[in-house]
Structure 1
Amino acid sequence: MKLMIISISIVICAYLCYSLFPTYIYKISYRQKKKNEEFFDKSIYLTFDDGPDKDYTIRLLDLLQEYNVKSSFFVVGTFALDNPDIIERMKNEGHSIGLHWYEHKSAMLQTPRMTKDNMNRGINALKELGINTKLFRPPWGQFNLSMISEIKKNNMTPVLWDVMAEDWEEDTTTQIIKDKLINRVNNNDIICLHDGRGKNKAPLKTIEALREMIPNWLNQGYTFKTVGEKYER
Structure 2
Amino acid sequence: MAKHSLLLTALGVTAACAAGYTVVPTIYNKRIRRDMVRTIPQQNAVMLTFDDGPDPRYTPALLDLLKKEEVHATFFVVADNARENPAIIKRMQAEGHTVALHALSHRCAWLSSGRYTQYEFAQSVQILASMGVTPRYYRPPWGYTNPHTLPTARRYGMRPILWSVMAEDWSARSTADVITDKLLARVKGGSIICLHDAGENSGGAPGAPTRTIQALARVLPILKGRGYHFVTPQQVQL
TM-score by length of 2: 0.92
Give the deviation of 1:149 after TM superposition: 2.3
Task: Tell me how far apart the structure 1 counterparts of residues 58 and 38 of structure 2 sit (CA, whole Å).
Answer: 34
Task: Tell me how far apart the structure 2 counterparts of residues 215 and 38 of structure 1 sit (CA, whole Å).
Answer: 22
Give the deviation of 1:170 after TM superposition: 1.7
**Partner of residue 164, structure 1:** 166
Contact kept in structure 2, 1:43 and 1:223, CA below 8 Å = yes
Residue 24 of structure 2, aligned match among 21, 37, 41: 21
Task: Tell me how far apart the structure 2 counterparts of residues 71 and 220 of structure 1 sit (CA, whole Å).
Answer: 18
Contact kept in structure 1, 2:26 and 2:146, CA below 8 Å = yes
Deviations 1:115-165 (A, max 9, x none): 111111111111111100110000000110011221232221111000011
Give the deviation of 1:113 after TM superposition: 1.4
Question: What amino acid does structure 2 have at the position aligned with 1:82?
Answer: E
Question: What amino acid does structure 1 have at the position aligned with 2:127?
Answer: A
2:149 is equivalent to residue 147 of structure 1: yes
In 2 relative to 1, CA 216–135 (structure 1 residues): closer, same or farther, beyond 3 Å?
A: same
Q: Which runs of 5+ in 1 are unaligned?
A: none
SS in 2 for 1:119: helix
SS in 1 for 2:90: helix
Question: What amino acid does structure 1 have at the position aligned with 2:123?
Answer: R
**Partner of residue 221, structure 1:** 227
In 2 relative to 1, CA 189–36 (structure 1 residues): closer, same or farther, beyond 3 Å?
A: closer
Deviations 1:85-124 (A, max 9, x none): 0000000000011001111011111111121111111111
2:115 is equivalent to residue 109 of structure 1: no
Task: Tell me how far apart the structure 2 counterparts of residues 111 and 56 of structure 1 sit (CA, whole Å).
Answer: 32
User: Following TM superposition, where does structure 1 have runs of at least 4 consecutive aligned residues deviating by more than 4 angstroms?
Assistant: 30-39
Write out aligned runs for 1:68-147 (5 A): 68-147=70-149
In 2 relative to 1, CA 32–48 (structure 1 residues): closer, same or farther, beyond 3 Å?
A: same
**Partner of residue 58, structure 1:** 60
Give the deviation of 1:37 after TM superposition: 6.1
Write out aligned runs for 1:179-218 (5 A): 179-197=181-199, 198-218=204-224
SS in 2 for 1:98: strand
RMSD between superposed Cα atoms in Å: 1.8
In 2 relative to 1, CA 30–68 (structure 1 residues): closer, same or farther, beyond 3 Å?
A: farther
Residue 176 of structure 2, aligned match among 164, 174, 185: 174
Give the deviation of 1:31 after TM superposition: 7.5
Q: Which runs of 5+ in 2 are unaligned?
A: none
SS in 1 for 2:54: coil
**Partner of residue 8, structure 1:** 11
In 2 relative to 1, CA 19–162 (structure 1 residues): closer, same or farther, beyond 3 Å?
A: same
Percent of aligned pairs sharing the same letter: 37
Question: What amino acid does structure 1 have at the position aligned with 2:210?
Answer: L
What is the number of residues matched between the two proteins?
A: 231
TM-score by length of 1: 0.94
